[in-house]
């Protein structure tokens, strides 16, 4: 929980009781019938006073003497000009001091600045939640009573493009114990609206943190071939080795992975495998199938898993033969999972890594309907990415749980982690 910054009285040197001051202001506002927020509200008046006081202090520092001081300086104060700025509590009109020779360059509210920096973060946050520029503009009109054009909102969000480019090309760690890769489908209007894959990779670092390595817009070609380009890009950014790559059962993908990192173990995502199993069965049986599959992927050995699968197949695969074919085709990429320590299994079988991220991505892109082009879709996905885990609590939980897994990785992949 954040704490208020202590303020000290410059005369007495005592700590100012901010709670007492707030109570006095609220009591006075209530007595005078002044609202807390809104036009003419208490917070607006306080913000106006603070900004104008800060601007006057900047002018004093610029000129080198206090207001009303007699001086021989050629430059001097030259009145004020009114200016409306958009703040987190609404639009506020302030009086900005001027000097005679026009050399004053305020920092607290810069020249031609029409909104405080916090407003940009609000726009980026709303956009990350899937709101369109029109919906963000309507939000500011409804909540703040301020008119913000869709063009202005687009310009604010465009500020992250340079940041996104730098992020997408940043150097990566030398080794990742686990990398999760997956694709999300986004509707893009490219002549006509069509589904387009966007590829995402998440690495688990040796310190236990989850690191989103990048987002790539697909070109509509073969998935495994495009993944080879993505993995090569990751390698070129400094990733020399990956112990385990967790992926879906896309044909040709294991070859692309081992072409990039020769000694990487390709592990079929258990969650994907189970979900794909459900596709072939009636929904009313899903709970039963899930219970009957659990002994297969929690088996201690491959032999035990094969025995449990045969029991499962005897019960279900006569009714749904495609399920047996699905598991048989994925078996060689599934069984490495059974050789791992329970701590490693917990990391690579966790739905929290790629699934929770994809859920956030899908929520944002579905709310928007479709994107006008690849760049707009990438910007939307990146805004979601930069808004993840703002408190750092999720990162802390992963790091706390990581030490047993790190020991297991260090033993299983001896010499590759350090």
For CA atoms 389, 239, 237, 250, give the dihedral sign.
negative
pLDDT in tens, 56-80: 878 888 888 888 777 777 888 888 8
Do 179 and 233 fall within a single domain? yes
Give the confidence band of 284 by pLDDT, cuts at 50, 70, 90. Answer: very high
Whether residues 239 and 158 fall in one domain: no
In a domain, 238, yes or no: yes
**Model pTM above 0.75:** no
Spatial contact of 377 and 188, defined as CB atoms under 8 Å apart: yes
Per the CB < 8 A criterion, the answer to whether 47 and 87 are in contact is: yes
Q: Any idea how long the chain is?
A: 418
Residues 238 and 383 in one domain: yes
Residue 13 lies in a domain: no
Closest CA to 414 of 172, 243, 268, 238: 243
Separation in Å, CA 313 to CA 269, 316, 397: 20, 5, 38
The residue segments making up the domain with residue 196 are 172-413
Query: Is 3 inside any structural domain?
Result: no
Strand partners, 102: none
Residue 110 sits in the same domain as residue 144: no
Q: Give the domain-ending residue among 97, 114, 131.
A: 114
Max Cα–Cα distance, the chain, nearest Å:
100
C-alpha distances out from residue 356 to 16, 339, 389, Å: 45, 26, 12
Asked if residue 1 belongs to a domain, the reply is no
247, 182 in Cβ contact below 8 A?
A: yes
Q: Is residue 83 a part of any domain in this protein? A: yes
Tell me, yes or no, whether 162 and 176 share the same domain. no
Cα 165 from Cα 6, distance rounded (Å): 39
Q: Which DSSP helix (H) or strand (E) runs through 99?
A: strand 90-99
**Exposed/middle/buried for residue 390 (C-beta within 10 Å: 0-12, 13-18, 19+):** exposed
Same-domain pairing of 82 and 184: no
Distance CA 50, CA 267 (A): 58
Local structure of 174: helix, strand or coil: coil
339 & 370 share domain: yes
Q: Would you tell me how many other CB atoms lie within 10 Å of the CB of residue 389?
A: 12
What is the rounded CA–CA span in Å between residue 304 and residue 64? 83
Are residues 67 and 127 located together in one domain of the fold?
no
Residue 210 and residue 124 in one domain: no
Mark whether 196 and 158 lie in a shared domain.
Answer: no
H helix or E strand, kind and range, residue 246: strand 241-247
* DSSP for 292-341, written as a single string: HHHHHHT-SSHHHHHHHHHHHHHHHTTT-HHHHHHHHHHHHHHGGGGGS-
pLDDT digits (tens, 9 = 90+) for 158-206: 777 888 889 999 999 999 999 999 888 888 887 788 888 899 999 989 8
Return d(Cα 127, Cα 116) in angstroms, integer: 18
With residue 179 as reference, give the H or E element that holds it: strand 175-190
Has residue 126 been placed in a domain?
A: yes
Q: Are residues 253 and 319 in the same domain?
A: yes
Domains in the chain, number: 3
Residue 161 and residue 234 share a domain: no
Tens-place pLDDT, residues 335-392: 888 888 888 888 877 545 677 788 888 888 887 777 888 888 888 888 888 887 666 6
180 domain-assigned: yes
Burial per residue of 225-240, b for 16 or more beta-carbon CB atoms within 10 angstroms, e otherwise? ebbbebbebbeeeebe
Does residue 45 sit within a domain?
yes
Position 21 pLDDT exceeds 60: no
Confidence class of residue 100 from pLDDT cuts 50, 70 and 90?
A: confident
Token pair, residue 221, equals: 């070609």
Q: What is the H or E stretch that residue 360 is in?
A: helix 354-368
């Amino acid at each position: 929980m954040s704490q208020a910054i202590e303020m000290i009285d410059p005369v007495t040197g005592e700590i100012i009781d901010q709670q007492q001051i707030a109570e006095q202001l609220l009591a006075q506002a209530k007595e005078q019938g002044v609202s807390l927020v809104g036009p003419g509200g208490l917070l607006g008046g306080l913000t106006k006073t603070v900004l104008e006081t800060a601007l006057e202090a900047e002018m004093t520092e610029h000129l080198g003497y206090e207001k009303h001081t007699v001086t021989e300086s050629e430059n001097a104060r030259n009145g004020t000009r009114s200016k409306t700025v958009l703040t987190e509590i609404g639009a506020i009109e302030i009086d900005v001091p001027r000097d005679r020779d026009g050399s004053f360059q305020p920092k607290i509210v810069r020249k031609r600045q029409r909104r405080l920096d916090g407003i940009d973060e609000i726009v980026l946050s709303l956009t990350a939640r899937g709101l369109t520029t029109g919906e963000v503009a309507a939000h500011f009109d409804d909540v703040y009573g301020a008119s913000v054009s869709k063009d202005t909102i687009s310009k604010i969000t465009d500020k992250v493009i340079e940041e996104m480019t730098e992020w997408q090309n940043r150097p990566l760690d030398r080794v990742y114990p686990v990398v999760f890769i997956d694709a999300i489908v986004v509707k893009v209007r490219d002549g006509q609206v069509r589904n387009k894959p966007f590829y995402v990779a998440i690495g688990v670092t040796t310190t236990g943190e989850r690191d989103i390595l990048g987002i790539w817009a697909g070109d509509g070609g073969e998935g495994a071939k495009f993944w080879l380009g993505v993995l090569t890009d990751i390698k070129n950014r400094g990733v020399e080795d990956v112990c385990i790559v967790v992926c879906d059962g896309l044909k040709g993908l294991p070859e692309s992975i081992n072409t990039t990192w020769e000694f990487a173990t390709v592990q079929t995502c258990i969650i994907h495998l189970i979900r794909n199993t459900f596709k072939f069965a009636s929904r009313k049986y899903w709970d039963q199938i899930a219970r009957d599959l659990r002994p297969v992927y929690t088996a201690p050995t491959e032999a035990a898993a094969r025995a449990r699968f045969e029991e499962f197949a005897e019960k279900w695969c006569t009714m749904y033969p495609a399920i047996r074919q699905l598991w048989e085709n994925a078996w060689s990429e599934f069984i490495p999972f059974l050789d791992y320590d329970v701590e490693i299994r917990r990391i690579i079988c966790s739905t929290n890594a790629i699934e929770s991220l994809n859920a956030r991505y899908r929520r944002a892109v579905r709310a928007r309907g479709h994107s006008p082009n690849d760049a707009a879709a990438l910007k939307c996905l990146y805004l979601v990415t930069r808004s993840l885990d703002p408190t750092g609590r999720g990162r802390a939980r992963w790091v706390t749980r990581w030490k047993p897994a790190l020991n297991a990785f260090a033993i299983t992949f001896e010499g590759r982690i350090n």
